[in-house]
Amino acid sequence: MPSLYIDGTWTGGSAGTAPVINPYDASTICEVDQAGPDDVDRAVAAARTAFDSGPWRATSCGERGEILGRIADLLVRDREEIARSETLDTGKTLVEGRQDVDDVTAVFRYYAGLADKDAGRVVDTGNPDVVSRIVHEPVGVCVLITPWNYPLLQLSWKVAPAIAAGNTMVIKPSEVTPLTSIKLVELCAEAGVPAGVVNILLGTGPDVGAPLTEHADVDMVSFTGGLNTGRSIIRASAETVKRTAVELGGKNPNVVFADTDFELAVDYAMLAVFLHSGQVCSAGARLIIEDSIADDVVDEIVRRAQRIKLGNGLDDGVEVGPLVSAQHLEKIENFVAAARAEGATIRCGGARPDAPELKNGYFYLPTVITDLPQGSELIKEETFGPLLTVERFSTEEEAIRLGNDTEYGLAGAVFTQDMGRANRVANALRHGTVWINDFHPYFPGAEWGGMGRSGNGRELGPTGLAEYQEIKHIWNNTAPEPQRWFSGE
């Protein structure tokens, strides 16, 4: 089946095909079409026409909400198929894949319910002859660029509010993990999204992503991914003054005080960093722990990390799958090599596994690293791998300082039984989400996004819808009279 979707038709690409690789064993899952410059122009033109003159502009908020609800129903229907595809594509466990589909379904249901709740507002001008209204309208043609780690989930955070607001779009998923994005577009079409409203192009960032962000007929770019690519998108969008919303990752602190229950401290520290082999933008890769409990907690984390079961995400009992690609595996190895060169202590991991059944895949052992200098690259840079660094503190003030010692500001957590201290620290951390005695949860009604170099804009919640809306003021003088500003007649 062709894998590009342009103006309501599945079609091949003008740039050949590329393999989609299963990271468990480096086998080829399938070949997918690749878009070229002509495909970019056709997809943007289809979205532009659908927005400017197609029937989509006439759909009501309620109708768009009904479409989103139907997409949610189809996700439930195809849950197992989608979860399996996500596991094959990304390497994550089937349990995680199923949870992803459930989370995506919740996002579509949330925006289905929110779509017709925005009536704007009336502004009191003090003049009874004037009706002044604030209304929200769609931005226009949106380019949605998503990452490889949570391809379906991250796409839902963009597609659902974009549809709810009445936009049209061109989707560019990661070339590494495109399969569930293709499936979601199929479900959009089945749910009744008109031709031209949702389009998808596959290909690399330079070949497809860059031309889309530079295109004069695109009104907005929403991007989730790396800092350097995000900077390039912001620069490219400036030429045509496009709206941009970029989420650029994080280096997230997990701050643990000594009064935390031992089991909670160990369990959540591991969940924070080793889920999906650390390939999570909100991963708690920095364990910042009070000195008096650090040795015992870290010793137990090391013991348990060495027992984590690696393997094929489709197999029962597997707890962690591979990294997503050979290139990413090499990146993780380079981070650890740099840490060793700085004199760090590798408490466990720090290598590929030697199990014969894992030799063809992109596996890396869960790794705990201590004794790093504070300015270490491993502490400062987002690694997106199963690498936990340990930093110690003695006072609340020091914990806050360490937690904020990052150019990123996406997410973080604080663990303590003292709720006064928990809220002081949560308020002081400069991160877009701070969890207290928890790590990783999100829900569709709460905004997600970061501060600093973690990006701008927000996804999810009412603000996630507002990102895809323009604000218009309509002033209606119901009793106009000549003003006589000028004497001539």
Tens place of pLDDT per residue across the chain (489 aa): 899 999 999 999 999 999 999 999 999 999 999 999 999 999 999 999 999 998 999 999 999 999 999 999 999 999 999 999 999 999 999 999 999 999 999 999 999 999 999 889 999 999 999 999 999 999 999 999 999 999 999 999 999 999 999 999 999 999 999 999 999 999 999 999 999 999 999 999 999 999 999 999 999 999 999 999 999 999 999 999 999 999 998 999 999 999 999 999 999 999 999 999 999 999 999 999 999 999 999 999 999 999 999 999 999 999 999 999 999 999 999 999 999 999 999 999 999 999 999 999 999 999 999 999 988 999 999 999 999 999 999 999 999 999 999 999 999 999 999 999 999 999 999 999 999 999 999 999 999 999 999 999 999 999 999 999 999 999 999 999 999 899 876
Q: Which two tokens stand for residue 42?
A: 């056709």
Q: Using CA atoms, how far apart are residues 209 and 274, in angstroms rounded to an integer?
A: 30
Q: Using CA atoms, how far apart are residues 148 and 325, in angstroms rounded to an integer?
A: 10
User: According to the model, what pLDDT value does residue 119 have?
Assistant: 85
Helix (H, G, I), strand (E, B) or coil at 139: coil
Q: Using CA atoms, how far apart are residues 428 and 312, in angstroms rounded to an integer?
A: 41
Instruction: Look at the alpha carbons of 162, 99, 385, 259 in this order and tell me if their dihedral is positive or negative.
Output: positive
Q: How far is CA 320 from the centre of its chain?
A: 20
Full-model pTM: 0.96
Q: Is 281 a catalytic residue?
A: yes
Q: Is 247 a catalytic residue?
A: yes
User: According to the model, what pLDDT value does residue 489 have?
Assistant: 62
Contact between 283 and 384 (Cβ < 8 Å) = yes
By DSSP bridging, strand 411-415 and strand 408-409 are unpaired
User: According to the model, what pLDDT value does residue 458 have?
Assistant: 96
Specify burial of residue 51 (Cβ count, 10 A radius: 0-12, 13-18, 19+).
buried
Contact between 29 and 20 (Cβ < 8 Å) = yes
Q: Which two tokens stand for residue 28?
A: 């080829």
Q: Which two tokens stand for residue 186?
A: 């199929």
Catalytic residue among 281, 348, 391, 467: 281
Q: Using CA atoms, how far apart are residues 82 and 90, in angstroms rounded to an integer?
A: 12
Q: Which two tokens stand for residue 441?
A: 């949860």
**Which long-range CB contacts under 8 A does 95-102 form with residues at least 24 apart?**
96/275, 96/276, 96/313, 97/313, 100/150, 100/152, 100/153, 101/75, 101/152
Catalytic residue among 86, 96, 175, 247: 247
Q: Using CA atoms, how far apart are residues 143 and 431, in angstroms rounded to an integer?
A: 26
User: According to the model, what pLDDT value does residue 374 have?
Assistant: 85
Domains of the chain: 4-248+454-475 (3.40.605.10), 253-436 (3.40.309.10)
Q: Using CA atoms, how far apart are residues 462 and 161, in angstroms rounded to an integer?
A: 9
Q: Counting every residue, how long is the chain?
A: 489
Contact between 434 and 413 (Cβ < 8 Å) = yes
Helix (H, G, I), strand (E, B) or coil at 6: strand
